[in-house]
Amino acid sequence: MSLHLTSSLNEVRNDTGRIAYCGPTVIAAISGFSVSRIEDAIHEFRHDAEAARKMIVGTSAEDVSAALGLFGYAMQRLEDYNALERKERPNLSSWMRKSRSAFSFYVLAVNVGKEGHWICIKGAKLCDTYTGGKWVFAADGPHKGARIMEVWRVAKM
């Protein structure tokens, strides 16, 4: 008996014709839907008519969670390091060495410069806007020294 295994890592399809920001990129990597569909879902969630018309640049945990919910996923916060000074927070490299499920998606809020940034981790791979929506080994990718603010596990509902 032979099992045919396929990857469960979705490459991000950016069909917008412009750069996709981190929130929509992470959601697209998990769900497999295009960036334009993800942005529509985020617009659907936002109640402020002015914010709903604008291009999706910044996203909150509520935006990401609500959009994932529309595609059948739930986010559960596992770790919150916001109360710690930035230098006291674990970096991505140290977090990757921790024991966790290789089969689960993890969404991490990290500091990149003075800004917050979303990245997606599954197994030993990372996907975000800096990788162009492609899955790369976290050890070879960007953000190894980025300080983690929050860690969320994403599961199919």
Query: What digits encode the pLDDT tens for the residues 137-149?
Result: 999 989 999 999 9
Give the end-to-end CA distance of the chain in Å, rounded to a whole number. 31
Is the distance from CB of 69 to CB of 26 less than 8 angstroms?
no
Burial of 12 (0-12, 13-18, 19+ CB in 10 A): buried
CA gap 70, 44 in Å, rounded = 10
pTM higher than 0.85: yes
Secondary structure class of 27 (helix, strand, coil)? helix
Q: Which helix (H) or strand (E) holds 155?
A: strand 148-156
d(CA 28, CA 21): 11
Chain centre distance of CA 102: 16
Angstrom CA distances, 101 to 15, 17, 122, stand at: 31, 35, 8
The pLDDT tens digits of the residues spanning 30-82 come to 999 999 999 999 988 877 767 666 778 889 999 999 999 999 999 999 999 99
